Structure 1
Amino acid sequence: MASPQAMEMLFYYNTLGKYTYSIYNSTSALPEGWDNIACENIFLSSSGLAVLEKAPPENMECHYVGLFGNGSLCGIAVIQYLDLARVATFKNRERSFCLKDYLLKRFSSHVLFIGNNTLTGQNAYLLNNGISETEALALLHMALQDLKKEYRKKGRRIHLLAVKDFNEKEMPDFEAAGFKDYYKFCTQPNMIFTIRPGWESAEDYLSELNTKYRTQHNRARKKAEGIIKKKLNLDEIALLSGRIHELYLTVAEKAAFNTFYLPQNHFEIMKQELNDNFRFYGYFKNEKLVGFNTLIKNGCDMDTYFLGYDEEIQKEKMLYLNMLYDMVAYAIKKGYKRIIFARSAMEIKSSVGAKAEDVYGIIKHTNPLLNLFMEKFFTYFDPKVEWKARSPFK
């Protein structure tokens, strides 16, 4: 009988001479040294990946790839499968039938990609000096193809293959690594707030805002009177999980485009796995939870994660804007260099000082004929968001 670890490992191939790769289905099977490489990015650590294993969106499956040079681990990566037919990807509140949703599910619903769809930014892979990026990507391209075949055996035909998200400086030479006929795309930007040298407190930040945006800050703070903010521990998150999920869905379902929804126990599992590196803040009015936001400590960066709020309280108390100011104040106080605000709500994030960073990826349809029209298809399906960048500093 095969060992449990063998059952959790899909493939082991000798490729590219001295380089090999393994694909794992479980974080319990990850090879020794994985977390040594993942120390640069908590989302690729065994604990970060365990969150996706224990509390994933119901339409997502995760696979973990170890890259080896002469038998030594020299690279790690995550590959995800998404079944878009299981979610209402596009919203059309005026009509019960959405053509975009129908076409996507009919021709492009099964997606396999290198990266983490719950995040924005390069959270796809990490390498040490034992392998070049081109060699690593060539291995990952093979792994992607092998997983595509594996899903076909299960009766699920993969429609789209992709890699995401890279800023302009990070964008590798995919062509040299064997990614032929892929379309390069750019979607909504990653909003990044940079902590300026010399800032030691929120007052330092406020002193550099121009009059208009300092007035905005003061007005928001005054509006929030009566709201109590509290850091929640694991037991409190578990106790309030139903209400937390309700508030999360209030925000998530407002989006014009969704590829997944988090399960109710997601934040509880994240707290279990990441401990103090995951911060959950609840906002209460008259002792009732009316909003929350989440932060993840990731080296010199502080990543914002998902949030939720009561729509009426948000309007009355300017709750979302106050959350942003709280995040800025916390990051400055704790000495972080950047806040990764991710996608969505670009204009209001820019009003507190975040700047847009374009992120790119590549994508390919497995039907050669449809792939000829990938640029037109992507343009048709990609939701356009009009927004105006703000400049809050003097």
Structure 2
Amino acid sequence: MSLTAERFTKVDDIPAIYWADLHCTQNSYYSPEFLKAFEVGNNDITFHYIFILKDTTAVAFANTQLVTIGVKTITKNIKIVPWLKRLVNGIFCDNKIRVLFCGNVFLSGEYGTFLKVGEPKVDTFKAIASSIDDLVKSIRVNAIFVKDFENESLCITDELKDFDYASMRVEPNMTIGLKPEWHSFDDYKNALRSKYRVKANKADKDSDALTVKLFNEHDIAEHINALQALYENTIANADFNAQVLDLNTYISLKAQFKERFIIQGYFYENKLVGFLSAMKNQDNLDAHFIGIDYEQNRDLAIYPRILNDYVRLGISLKAERINLGRTASEIKSTLGAQPEELMCYVKHKYKLPNSTLKPFIKNVKIKSFRQHRAFKKL
């Protein structure tokens, strides 16, 4: 099987027939409209879209973004021995590095590569890996990070180890499976054990002073500065964030995806103090970024209310599953969320630094957390 690669830096330059060949656009995250919204809204990122062709037919796709990250941003919250952390910081001179991400840097999940149904998966994935190596040779970059793969994909993605990548576990996605008999939030709460039902009710009671509004495109534009500030306030408290999203991206997403892309604002005394964002993608409701005024969070229970409202939205949209994303895993498990393990692959562009990086990657430990069993036993 003879495979070739073709690269593009703009979505508009991609031939429409390639999307038709792959049959991938029913998943919103592989649609040109979704990809273009991020491309247009984030001028400080360089985008490369890779298509693997068999003769002239597209059989695989990879989405990459080239971003600049401070090394200490990467190492500050990673659990490794102090001397190794100092060594890695020293290798990069405590400086910023350029990282090529394969996978959407703003999403948590397996949205970076797509392999056409019916094609040999290992061969096409290896063709993607080879094309990434070819891309890396032509650009200024320090490291490559291929993300986020579920356990059932590892029999394919572990081929990256032959390309000198090291594998590493990252924080899991926390997901809630919704029962078809849950037609309301009360139905969901009735399935919870008593202590977790009390917790959900308390979140609603403590946030009763909030006014909640679903945003349309005009609302997002009107409140864009406040949304951006709340979002940046929230990611400043995160363990790791590779890149700051320009939330003007959300105006484009709302225009393209209408009711499938959701922004919900939380107001207190006419001031925006929080928001959630989400995408209904096929049978899933995926939580995207949130924003919180932490000075008001304790008194108004903004974050617990946001979590409750993700469940409400999932039920109202008849989703089969809610993906609450990474971080705050223990809190999310109190709503019934279960961890979905994810694997990433990392390497330095050059062999000698990569030989030093590999032991660092092997020593990375993800945070442990207490997994609550929120639902009643059947």
TM score, norm. by length of structure 1: 0.86
Letter in 2 for 1:110: R
| Matched position secondary structure for 1:38 | coil
What's the counterpart of residue 32 of structure 2?
46
Is residue 305 of structure 1 aligned with residue 288 of structure 2? Answer: yes
Partner of 1:306, secondary structure, is: strand
Q: Which runs of 5+ in 1 are unaligned?
A: 1-15, 93-97
1:114 corresponds to which residue?
Answer: 102
Partners of 1:57 and 1:263 within 8 A in 2: no
2:7 alignment partner in structure 1: 23
Distance 1:89 1:312 in 2: 27
Aligned amino acid, residue 217 of structure 2:
L
1:150 to 138, 156, 160: 138
Q: Which one scores higher on RCO, CA 8 angstroms, separation ≥ 6?
A: 2
Using the TM superposition, give the Cα deviation of residue 285 of structure 1 relative to its aligned residue in structure 2, in angstroms: 1.1
Question: Are 1:159 and 1:366, in contact at CA under 8 Å, matched by a contact in 2?
Answer: yes
For residue 177 of structure 1, report the CA deviation from its aligned partner: 6.8
Q: Is the 8 A contact 1:257 1:383 kept in 2?
A: no
The CA RMSD measured in Å over matched residues stands at 2.5
Name the CA distance, whole Å, in 1 between partners of 2:182 and 2:87.
Answer: 47
Q: Which residue of 1 aligns with 2:372?
A: 390
Distance 2:218 2:75 in 1: 35
Could you tell me whether the CA contact under 8 Å between 2:168 and 2:362 is conserved in 1?
no
**Residue 231 of structure 1 pairs with residue 219 of structure 2:** no
The whole-number CA distance in structure 1 between the counterparts of 2:74 and 2:230 is: 19
Q: TM-score, normalised by structure 2?
A: 0.89
Aligned partner of 1:167 in structure 2 is 150
Mapped to 1, the partners of 2:357 and 2:88 lie a distance apart of 17
Shift of 1:364: 1.8
Q: Supply the AA of the counterpart residue of 1:256.
A: D
8 Å contact 1:113–1:144 — kept in the other structure? no
**Residue in 2 that maps onto 1:319:** 302
> Does the C-alpha gap of structure 1 residues 266 and 366 become closer, same or farther in structure 2, counting only changes over 3 Å?
same
SS at match of 1:342: coil
TM-fit CA distance, 1:387: 2.2
The reply to whether residue 214 of structure 1 matches residue 197 of structure 2 is yes
Match of 2:63 among 75, 78, 86: 78
Partner deviation per Cα, 1:271-324 (whole Å, 9 max, x = no partner): 233333211000111121110000101101111100101112211111111111
Amino acid at match of 1:325: N
CA contact (8 A) 1:57 1:262 kept: no
Corresponding letter in the other structure for 1:272: A
- Is residue 43–residue 49 contact of structure 1 (8 Å, CA) maintained in 2? yes
CA distance in 2, matches of 1:175, 1:335: 35
CA contact (8 A) 2:203 2:305 kept: yes
How big is the shift at 1:388? 1.3
Kept in 1: contact 2:65–2:101 (CA 8 A): yes
8 Å contact from structure 2 (residues 106, 245) kept in 1: no
- Taking structure 1 as reference, are residues 243 and 108 closer, same or farther at Cα in structure 2, changes over 3 Å only? closer
Distance change >3 Å, CA 227–CA 372, structure 1 → 2: same
Answer whether contact 2:108 2:148 (CA < 8 A) is retained: yes
Question: Mean alpha-carbon deviation: is it higher for 235-244 or for 35-44?
Answer: 35-44
Checking the alignment, whether the CA contact within 8 Å between 1:279 and 1:295 is kept in structure 2 is yes
